[in-house]
Structures are given as structure tokens and as C-alpha cells.
Amino acid sequence: MQVKFPDVNLLALWPVIALVVTALVLLVVVVVRPRLEGAFYALLTLAGLAVALVLTLIQAGSTPISTFAGTWRTDDFAVFFTLVILAASILAVFLSEDWLRLHNVGQPEFYTVLLCGTVGMITSVSATDVMTLFLGIELMSVPTYLLTGFAKHERTSNEGAMKYFLLGAFSSAILLYGLVWAFGVTGSTNMDAIARFVANGGGESRPAILLALLLIITGLGFKVAAVPFHMWTPDAYQGAPTVVTAFMSVAGKAAAFGALVRLLTQAFPGLSGDWGPVLVVLSVITMLLGNIVAIVQNDVKRMLAYSAIGHTGFMLVGLSTWSPSNRFGAASVLFYAFMYVFMNMGAFGILAWLENHGGGTTLDHLDGLWSKAPAAATSLAVFLLGLMGFPLTAGLWTKVFVFQATAQAGYTWLGVLMLLISAVAAVFYLRVVVRMFMFEPKLAIASPSQPLMVIGLAVALIGTVGLFVLFTPVLEFAERAVGIGA
């Protein structure tokens, strides 16, 4: 008997290996020394993430590697999303350490779970085989459920985690069902093979392949929080510890979008005429619902949850314009995901910072923040302006390039609708700014020491403003990643 082993090029996996090893070491350290002083566990995690980041940057320069019998590909696309995910993870660790300490939920396991989730996210965006992709999605989801319920003495945290878990399992099943249909029809789990099969529209299997496509869009639509698959989002985002919300609203969304873009553009490029309109519909209702319901929220955390739904809508707009001859729509999504890291993590980060000061996250708590903590108030204002798409922040470019994608694809009306909706969105972002800057402070705040958090927020702030000026490399990288000019 002769066994042929799949070719394994470990170079493609170095970042993931670094993360897994860190997670294991952390687990062992936790067992041996469960109560280490200072921020040891966080720093260890950061070290692992930094190593992974460096390794990814090394990969960025080299040629694409396809390995594990074509189920894994480290190409520009994967590297781009890996960078986004790692950036989000690193920021998350910075934001989390002080929060966990001050809220007495400081089990070091937090970081192990976070690292496992990161590995799952990287797997989702690097997979070129639908089974590997599903594995990645699950490896990302399960830790996220755990993190959502991490504040285990908080009833809302438990509630959010439970809902997220049940619905997440449900949607995973739908996704898997779609992938299985795709396999059943095309006879392969490899994305390139599926693409070859559907190149001519699928022939007589067309109804079945469309069913598979819709199931996949539904399953991943849940992960990116697209309406009407979004119902878990407000509860989970609000219930989860704020630092976790920051992490999953950015990294989880980026990974799910990575998987969605990869699947749709690499496995189903021939059907872009079918899934494009579906995404148009989803994007419109997602933008509308997310941004309109956000207007009436009094809890800023919940408002940002709805705003996150709205941003999913904006990103879907970009993706919906993709076609094999006009790939810029996908680039606009990648670009969006990158910029979103700094703005959204910054915004949630400030909320966490406030909680560290014994404050809450409702508008009342933000009243007059400017006079008590001008730096925090200014930062939050910058992050919110970024999310709004205001000039002088990186947020402007996210909207500009999604709009450009729509204009290039002949969907200008959709782009204009998007701009109109983002003008509406200004209402709720500005309301926070108004409350911070114009109202009398109602509640006093303490001021504990939180060095790592301040570093994380500073990085987010520098990113939000700095990338307004220096966004060109990111855009070029995103274009290269989706095969423009290659």
C-alpha cells in the first residue's frame, strides 16, 4: 500500500503556529502559575501576536503559497486579512488587560481563548477549500461565544452568549448545509474546482447551486450581522464585555467578510450576476435598519452595535458590485475592514475606558465628558467622526471607495443611497458628541491607572487620523489582494 501525503509547506503556517504555541504555553503557564503578578499573561500574548505579525509581514513580501493539497493558500488576500485580524487582536489585548483586572474577571484563560479565535479567523480567510473554511469559521465562533459570556456573573453577558451560541450553531448548520450542497452538485470541496463547475452558470444543476449559494450567504450573513440575520448582534454586543465587543465586532466581522469574499469571488465568480443582486437587497435593508434603529438608542454600546450592523451594510454594498471584470468592489471591502479596525475598536475602547472609571455606557454617563476627561472625549469624537465618514479621518476613504466601486459598476444609485444613509447616521454619532461636549457632567468618575489601555487607544487614534493621510499603501495592497493589476 502506498500512501501519498499532502504537500505541507510550513512557511504558509508560521503565523498560525506561533499563535497556537503561544496559546498552549499560556495554558500550561496558567496551570503551573495561575496568579502571576502584573500583566504577564497579556504581555506573553502580545509577544505571540507580535511574532505572528512579523511572520505575516514576511509572508507579505513572498509569492503565494498553496499547501495542504490545495486547501490552504497564503496569498495577498489571506495576508491582508491576517494583518487586519492580528491588528485587531493586538489592540484587543491592549484594551482588555486593564478592563479585566478592574472588573475582576481577570482569568488568564481569556487570552488563550482569544488566541484560538484568532487562529480560527486566520484559517477562515486562508482557506481555499470549503471544509477548511468551515473549520475556520467554527474555530472562530466557539471562542467568540465563550468570550461573549466571559463576564460570567453578569446576567446580560450570559444571556448574550446563550443567544449567540444557539443562533450561531443554527447558522453554522445552514452554512454547512450550503457547503454540502455545493459539494454534492460540483463533486468537489475545492474552491477552484467549484469555480470551474459553475463557470458556465451551472448548467442543469443551476437550481441546486443557487440554493447552495443562498444557504452560504445566509450562514455567513449571520456572521457578518447582515439583516435579517442580525438579531443576535445587539444582544450579544451589548451583553459581551465591552472589550470583547470591540474585538468581535472588528476581527470576527473581518474574518467572516474574508470568508464571504473568498467564497463568492473565488468559488462562485461565474454566478456574480446572481449573488450580486442578492447582496444589493441585503445591503440596502442592512444599511437602513442598522442606521435607523441606532438613532433611538440611549445606550452608546447598543447604538454602536446597531452602527456595526449599518457598517456591514456599507461593506456589502462594495461586495455586491463585484464582477470578474470589475474587481474593485472587493478591494473596497478589504480597505473598509482595515480602516474599521481602528475606528470601531477605538470607539468601543473608550467605552471600556469609561467603564474602568466606574462609568456606564449610556448617554447620561457621557454627559459633559469633555470637561472631565478632554482627551477621552476628543478621542471618542474622532472615532465617531471616523465611523461617520468625516473628512480628516480614515473613515472618509471607506465611504469614498465603496462609492467609487458602485460608480464603476453602474450601481451609482446604490452609492448615492449609501451616502444619504451615512448622512442620516451622522445624527446618532453627533448626538454623542453633543452630549459629551455640550452638557453638564452628571456623574463623577474615578481615575484608575490603566497603562495598556491608553496605549491601545493611542494606537487606534493614530491609526484613525494617520490613515487618513497615508491610506494609499493600504488601498494598493487591497487592490493587489483581489487581483487588480496583478
Q: How far is the CB of 84 from other proteins (least distance, A)?
A: 19
Query: Residue 170 CB, nearest distance to other proteins (Å)?
Result: 5
156 lies in the binding site for other proteins (CB under 8 A): yes
Part of the chain binding other proteins (CB under 8 A), chosen from 59-67, 311-319, 353-361, 475-483: 475-483
Judged by CB under 8 A, does residue 68 bind other proteins?
no
Cβ atoms of 163 and 236 within 8 Å: the answer is yes
Residue 444 interacts with other proteins (CB under 8 A): yes or no:
no
Q: Looking at 229, 338, 342, 348, which residue binds other proteins (CB under 8 A)? A: 229
- Residues between 95 and 154 that touch other proteins (CB under 8 A): none
* The one segment of 36-44, 94-102, 164-172, 252-260 that binds other proteins by CB under 8 A: 164-172
Binding-site size for other proteins (CB under 8 A) equals 77
CA angle 260, 463, 406 (to 5 degrees): 40
CB of 292 to other proteins, least distance (A): 7
Q: Which is nearer to other proteins, 217 or 333 (CB)?
A: 217
Q: Which stretch binds other proteins (CB under 8 A): 53-61, 337-345, 347-355, 404-412?
A: 404-412
Kindly identify the residues of this chain, within the stretch 373-392, that bind other proteins according to CB under 8 A: 390-392
Q: Give 102 or 174: the residue with its C-beta nearer to other proteins.
A: 174
Min dist CB 263 to other proteins, Å, is 16
Segment lying near other proteins (by CB under 8 A), choices 43-51, 189-197, 393-401, 445-453: 393-401
- Tell which positions 312-371 bind other proteins, by CB under 8 A: 328, 370-371
Chain residues 3-32 in contact with other proteins, contact rule CB under 8 A: 3, 5, 24, 27-28, 30-31
40, 135, 465, 476: which one contacts other proteins (CB under 8 A)? 476
Q: What one-letter code names the amino acid at 382?
A: V
User: Judged by CB, which is closer to other proteins: 336, or 471?
Assistant: 471
User: How far apart are CB 228 and other proteins at their closest, in Å?
Assistant: 4
Shortest Cβ 5–other proteins spacing (Å): 6
Residue 274 contacts other proteins per CB under 8 A: yes
Identified binder of other proteins from the candidate list 65, 364, 408, 443, rule CB under 8 A? 408
